[in-house]
Amino acid sequence: MHKKIMYICSMGNQKLYKGSLQTIILKLLASHSKMYGYEITQKVKELTKGELNITEGALYPALHKLEADGLLDVEVAKVGNRLRKYYKLTESGTKETANKLQEMQEFLKTMQHLVNPKFSVE
């Protein structure tokens, strides 16, 4: 039951996306000064044209882990009748984003060589 809420739900490739959640969040925050949870889920849905739908059960633990690792900072603001937590990259978060994106590029390149040796993403 507990594991069930941890998955990223997509149309079919959830297992492939699962390991990339932190990189996705960091990349989004690198291109926005600050974002809140719901906004992140909607932005991912929009950018992937609905292909990737991050569940809250996967998003918030990932955000909290990145915060615990010192990669994200939190800001609280009142919106309507409730409070909203905004996340933004810390200095080490910005550096880690660059590393993660580099790793992702290398991973994609390797996968490309493996699954389709004739073509390359380069």
Partner 1 sequence: MELTKSQIQQIDNRLKSGGIKYWDLRLEIIDHIATDLEQNSKSNDFNKELNNSLKRMGYLNNLSAVNTKGWQNVNKFYRKRYLDNIKTYLKKPLILLLVVLSIITNYFLFEYLPLKTFKLLNFSLYIIFSIPFFVLTTKLWLKKYGKSVHLDYGIFYFGFALIMINLPIQFAGYFEAIYQKIFLILLLPIFILASISGYQLFNESIQKVERIRKELNL
Residues that bind partner 1 (CB under 8 A): 1-2, 4-5, 9, 36-38, 55-57, 60-61, 64-65, 67-70, 76-85
CB atoms within 10 A of CB 72: 24
Minimum Å distance from CB 28 to partner 1? Answer: 16
Minimum Å distance from CB 113 to partner 1? Answer: 36
Compare residues 48 and 112 and give the one whose CB is closer to partner 1: 48
3-state secondary structure of 8: coil
Nearest to 11, CA basis, from 41, 39, 48, 40: 48
β-bridge partners, 86: 36, 75
The phi, psi pair for 118, rounded to 5°, reads -75, -30
Compare residues 1 and 115 and give the one whose CB is closer to partner 1: 1
Place of tokens 């492939």: 16
Minimum Å distance from CB 19 to partner 1? Answer: 18
Minimum Å distance from CB 84 to partner 1? Answer: 5
Compare residues 2 and 118 and give the one whose CB is closer to partner 1: 2
Nearest to 58, CA basis, from 2, 3, 22, 5: 5
